[in-house]
Amino acid sequence: MVVTIVTFVVSLSILIIGHELGHFIVARRSGVTVEEFGLGYPPRLFTLARRSGVLYTINAIPLGGFVKMRGEDEDAGEGSFLRASPKSKLAILLAGPAASALVAVGFLALAFLSPHPVVVDKGVRVQKVASSSPAEQAGLKPDDIIVAFDGNPVRNIKDLERYTKGHQGETAPLTVKRDGETVNLKVLIRTHPPAGQGAMGIVITSVTEMKSEPIWSAIWDGIMITLRLFVITLLLPILLARGALPLSAARPIGPVSIARITGVAMSASLATGYFYHIFYIIGFISAALSVTNLLPLPALDGGRAAFALLELIRGKPVDPRKEAWVHFVGMGFLLFLMVLITYVDIVSPIDLSKLGY
């Protein structure tokens, strides 16, 4: 529990600071006065510092952060956000998601620079053996690595599946590696196995080895995973409609699930000594934060950017009071949605065994 809480707080703080730093830097470069950089949402707990007119604060609700700019809802004179050009507003609002994407690429690159599991064509690992199955009767055990089937080399899962389909109803010799030794067995390949079991009665997985990637390869993989998440999110309705993704893949997760996921990842990293797990999860969550904030929903960066884009097209801004009302209603809806997602996370928690840790 302690590991989960500490990991969640530290991870979330990193993600929030990275995101808000994007807004902060571009706002100041655009001539907009930043009044406060807050970690968490008000009420304020205490002030860390005041530098160059900016308050750096820690706030009571620890599920976000903010950069408070002068004149966001009404013209407050020189340095007001509302006085900035539409292009500057767009740059400021999109800088947060852009910074989150950079944080994602950075942590994903760290994950691939660290020793991490890579699938190798060196056999197929047995995860589970069904009770009273031909595999159990033949002497197969969990963690055995099948390297040959009837004299043919087994490099990967596809090889084993192809060989078993061609030998149904037969007893086939298997060669397995067990604790560094070679063991020869004979297993019946069933034609009609019981429901939920395969022809031999085993659950298999790929063989992996711990490897580290060169820095440019690691950065490239980080970029591609981040881009892939963006594309999948944009195409999600189409993928769900076509059945290319299960409905469960579209389930949103809230702070409770994020805390559990980061806690499990950190526990795995501490247990193995490899910090690939936690680096990867932080990177993936940051990428998700980036794409979520780009959605054109009121109160999110994407929703506010839509108003700036509309101002750029029209040549004049939307009435600030009307825009503020839209974002106020949107924030209320998002808070309700967050409460609902948190409730679902508690009463129907996600299956963390699928993380592979």
Q: Determine the pLDDT at residue 111.
A: 95
CATH of 117-211, one of 2.30.42.10, 3.20.20.480, 3.40.920.10, 3.40.440.10: 2.30.42.10
The Cα diameter of the chain in Å comes to: 85
Residues of the chain with CATH 2.30.42.10: 117-211
User: Residue 93's CB: how many other CB atoms inside 10 A?
Assistant: 27
pTM score = 0.83
Structural tokens at position 31: 């001539």
For 250-265, write each residue's pLDDT tens digit.
Answer: 677 888 888 889 999 9
Q: Determine the pLDDT at residue 233.
A: 82
219 CB contacts (<8 Å, ≥6 apart)?
105, 109
Place of tokens 């976000």: 64
Q: Determine the pLDDT at residue 58.
A: 93
DSSP element (H, E) containing 233: helix 215-234
User: Residue 242's CB: how many other CB atoms inside 10 A?
Assistant: 9
Q: Determine the pLDDT at residue 353.
A: 64
For 265-274, write each residue's pLDDT tens digit.
Answer: 999 888 888 8
State the Cα–Cα distance between residues 280 and 263, nearest whole angstrom.
Answer: 13
Residue stretches of the chain with pLDDT short of 70: 244-245, 247-250, 353-357
